[in-house]
Structure 1
């Protein structure tokens, strides 16, 4: 079974016509976009705000209408992926390098739905290197300040050169111990000069769509903190 396809497509069931949808980035949301594109071709009416140039390109190819914050005040529902999801629905995001725009879109959304295959579920955040977006100026100074928090940052490289985000910044991938206080770490990182934002998404996910051990889609909701099994 393709877990990413199953959970990515399931998210579309929570959308209604004539709403603004935050369109996330990554291999799981890809399937959300593909299904949305098919629905749009059939006359389904939505507007999307992409979290990356990559997503904007895919959406345009699928003829999904796009809008911007110049035209709207808030987003009805955002759908995005995650690199880690804790049992309390806290997230690490940014493996695709779009964490800043993803967080801006998530913050503007009335509801944030996360789609993630079962491999992304963890008891505690921290196994996946935490992405931190930083400005290019003063990289080494910023790294030294981050190291004082007890984590080890390394510049993300692509073909021997630093990865550049859609915002013209660098990404530091930070090896962390088990993150027992994610809210405090999110705050402490963002207080460092040179840090634009980090991949800890704390208290932001309203719903997580994933798979259980029986390969059944499950819905985890923050409000109820209960898990409902959906038989396919």
Structure 2
């Protein structure tokens, strides 16, 4: 219920005649559903979406949101996406759904980036709960794992659920989940990880989020507050 409320609150911020980045994950799925409902009711007009994953694309088609590509547009008005961790400086760790590379492209391009989370995703220090997802081209897997170890991280290849073998991203790459006991400087770690040869992108998002919408339960009621 909480995820639904946050998704709906984010969908309500979308204006007619806009290009919308559509994120990945369970909370964002509700936002996509409500944007579709607003379009069907005529409350919202002339919207095109940029999906960040195959999941977002399938949902958008299901709910009747017309889609376009980054080749066809020159800006994104608003992007809505979830996060696995959010710290007090609005830094994020994303990539629980292995879509962080496309999400980063879309979310950074957006004039306004709205993050939808439940209160359980809030942390005082980034990396305290969640590992940093690192997308890596398959041939570079072992050297990248060794480089992450040298940085003090504990790297683990992400394995598929109900699938034999590793998770494969929409780009055909692999994901290493790198656990760091301490991330004193998220912006620096983001750069350092991306500079390892063979790494495509990692899940640290800094200086990117504009609005964080948080769903939580107070007195038995689902409420949405802004950070």
Give the TM-score range, shorter chain: over 0.9
Q: Partners in 1 of 2:82 and 2:21 — Cα distance?
A: 12
Aligned to 1:211: 215
Separation (CA, whole Å) in 1 of partners of 2:58 and 2:190: 30
Correspondence for 1:8: 7
- Which of these residues, 135, 140, 143, is aligned with residue 142 of structure 2? 140
Aligned positions of 1:74-89 closer than 5 A: 74-89=75-90
- 1:152 maps to which of 140, 151, 154: 154
User: Secondary structure of the equivalent of 1:216?
Assistant: strand
Q: 3-state SS of the aligned residue for 1:137?
A: helix
Which residue of structure 1 aligns with residue 20 of structure 2? 21
The Cα offsets for residues 172-195 of structure 1, whole Å up to 9 and x where unpaired, read as: 011111322111110110110011
Task: Name which of 164, 168, 178 aligns with 2:168.
Answer: 164
Give, in angstroms, the shift of residue 212 of structure 1: 5.0
Residue 111 of structure 1 corresponds to: 112
Normalising by structure 1, what TM-score? Answer: 0.91
Q: Which 4+ runs in 1 deviate beyond 4 A? A: none
- 1:146 deviation in Å? 1.1
- In 2, the alpha carbon distance for the partners of 1:80 and 1:96 equals 12
Structure 1 gap ranges (5+): 221-232
Q: Which moved more, 1:171-180 or 1:184-193?
A: 171-180
Aligned-pair distance for 1:69? 1.1
Measure, in 2, the Cα distance between the counterparts of 1:168 and 1:161: 13
Residue by residue over 1:125-148, the C-alpha shift from the partner in whole angstroms, topping out at 9 and shown as x without a partner, is 111111000111121111101111
Q: Deviations over 1:69-103 (max 9, x none)?
A: 12101100000000000011100000001000000
Which residue matches 2:180? 176
TM-aligned CA deviation for residue 219 of structure 1: 1.0
2:3–2:215 Cα contact (<8 Å) kept: no
In 2, distance between residues paired with 1:29 and 1:102?
A: 12
Q: CA deviation at 1:213?
A: 6.1
Q: In structure 1, what is the Cα distance between the partners aligned to 2:31 and 2:125?
A: 27
| Matched residue, 1:228 | none
